Structure 1
């Protein structure tokens, strides 16, 4: 008798567990969703996740709650999502630095393309090359001339070792034949403070630096996008400055564990596209230096693959970031 009761209880438990694990587009999301941002609060990725998360909550009827899991330049938060249940209840909001890690780090605790699948490229935007106002240069050409005349003298700051700003700076040095000293900081805010204090003389920064540029606290020499940024119309592109190979845009993307069902991924991707199409969210994304994308999962996969290949070409030059 006791065996039959135990067996029934076990069977019921398995049915309940299976029901909790089952996830399809019709039932998604079944409970609050965690949006993992692998960086500290306050950056553009965090801002994008919070903006989109609020809209997703309204569209899909469950809270989408941002959880910051910083560390190891984004690797800790990414690993957490890669090893989560494949039900889109845990979603990664990461930058295009995820492709940098795939190209440069052979010892990641996950395989970027085997363990994760892209849901959407949420938004994207350029970096801006900013220098301390005391540096006696007013253009990219003058910066290159100064750096060549003073090899190893200029300190180039970044928001972290192996991040997008760091690698864009390394690519710029390769393109210009210059030699600078890389100084990584623990985030974009600290790198801006270091630049204003002249601890470093230049940074490839996100457009969160726009207000500091307008206030004269930083001097902008170029943006890395193919076109000029509307909020900084007098700042030339890096291509206009003579270095088209340094043209690069960064993006924020959404990712889930690889085995997440296709229909769930499509539903989440569509909801993200609807979110970033909202004029209010578009305006707020622009304020942190991004324009909305809201791509399909297929297009997001293509973008990620192209980025990994692009950064792999730089890694193949022998550059080490660890």
Structure 2
């Protein structure tokens, strides 16, 4: 006859290996829907740098470009819901793509478990260094004098950079030519080289180039001036009231990820965002630390999805 201790031991051994595993017991991978050098890549690597310690595991960053962010989002949506594969979501794809594509292999709410909002960022409009414009008034006049000939880059079709350029053309009552790239990094290389006229993008992708003079910053699209760009006017100050463009970066796990894993990740991420080092680097890159937990991020995602659907319908952009 089995003793009680033997019976309990047998029951424990019968448990699935996954149930016995304490999270996390192996590396947690961050999937980024953009190329190295962009705002999402910066955010992922900044988080990974601080998160490895609290988790006790390495946090590799993997860039999966293509499909206007759909490649990365689809990959994470299909991943095992165990907390080991996370999406570093960029608002330009996460809440815009559902209004731009008729069919997606993922949904921003149904396909994911919200974990944490990390950063928000105003956008910055920068131009190639030899373009004849020193401020927004001169740039607007130049664009209007050259309808359909001024080019603007983006990190991909339907990205916020794309939408931002379309919004600017609409606000100025003229046309510009969209030139999509596979990330903000490659786009910036061509702007610096003078092959493309401008880009509206998040500060992490351009702050270094602004500081060295490789590109010329014209305006920032937030409600207020950022401490790292105190001399750069907002769009409202520059004569474009109502033209505001802010991005955000958040962490999502596949839908069905255990609640305990989501809460552990969210708690550790919050701890990282509260460190002086994380906050310093975020501010130096022109962003704001804006932490939200799982429930708050879920509500925020739904609100942003509705807002961007309205903006995109107003622009009349559809990709399929």
Q: TM-score, normalised by structure 1?
A: 0.88
1:46-104 alpha-carbon deviations (Å, 9 max, x no partner): 23222222322211222222222222122112111111222212111121121111221
Deviation (angstroms), 1:115: 0.9
- CA contact 1:276–1:282 (8 Å) conserved in 2: yes
Instruction: State the match for 2:303 in structure 1.
Output: 306
1:22-58 CA distance string (max 9 Å, x none): 77xxx32233222212222333322322222232221
Deviation at 1:161, TM superposition (A): 1.4
1:35–1:22 distance in 2 versus 1, CA, 3 Å: farther
Q: How does 1:96-115 map to 2 (within 5 A)?
A: 96-97=91-92, 98-115=94-111
Q: Report if the CA contact (8 A) 1:128-1:222 is conserved.
A: yes
CA contact (8 A) 2:36 2:185 kept: no
The superposition leaves residues 124-179 of structure 1 with CA deviations (integer Å, 9 ceiling, x where unpaired) of: 21111111232222222222222223211211112221112111111222222121
C-alpha RMSD of matched pairs (Å): 2.3
Corresponding position of 1:5 = none
- Aligned counterparts of 2:128 and 2:146: Cα–Cα separation in 1: 16
Shift in alpha-carbon separation, 1:35–1:211, aligned structure 2, 3 A: closer
Q: Are 1:45 and 2:43 an aligned pair?
A: no
Corresponding residue SS for 2:109 = helix
Q: Report the secondary structure of 1:246's partner residue.
A: coil
Match of 2:114 in 1: 118
TM normalised by structure 2 equals 0.88
Residues 212 and 56 of structure 1: CA distance in aligned 2, closer, same or farther (over 3 Å): closer
Distance in 2 of aligned mates of 1:168 and 1:302 = 24
Distance 1:293 1:178, change over 3 A: same
Deviation at residue 21 of structure 1 after TM alignment: 5.2
Does structure 2 retain, via aligned residues, the 8 Å contact 1:21–1:87? no
Q: Secondary structure in 2 aligned to 1:47?
A: helix
Structure 2 residue corresponding to 1:87, chosen from 58, 75, 82: 82
In the superposition, relative to structure 1, how do residues 196 and 33 fare at CA in structure 2: closer, same or farther (>3 Å)? closer
Mapping for residues 195-210 of structure 1, pairs under 5 Å:
195-207=191-203, 208-210=205-207
Tell me if structure 1 keeps the 8 A contact 2:34–2:182.
no
Is residue 290 from structure 1 mapped to residue 313 from structure 2 by the alignment? no
Q: Which runs of structure 2 are paired with 1:1-322 in the superposition (5 Å)?
A: 15=14, 18-20=16-18, 27-97=22-92, 98-207=94-203, 208-317=205-314, 318-321=316-319
2:228–2:286 contact (8 Å) kept in structure 1: no
What secondary structure sits across from 1:130 in the alignment?
strand
| Number of the residue aligned with 1:6 | none
Query: 5+ residue gaps in structure 2?
Result: 1-9
Question: What corresponds to 1:7 in structure 2?
Answer: none
The question of whether the paired residues in 2 share the 8 Å contact of 1:101 and 1:162 is answered with yes
- What SS class does the counterpart of residue 28 from structure 1 fall into? coil
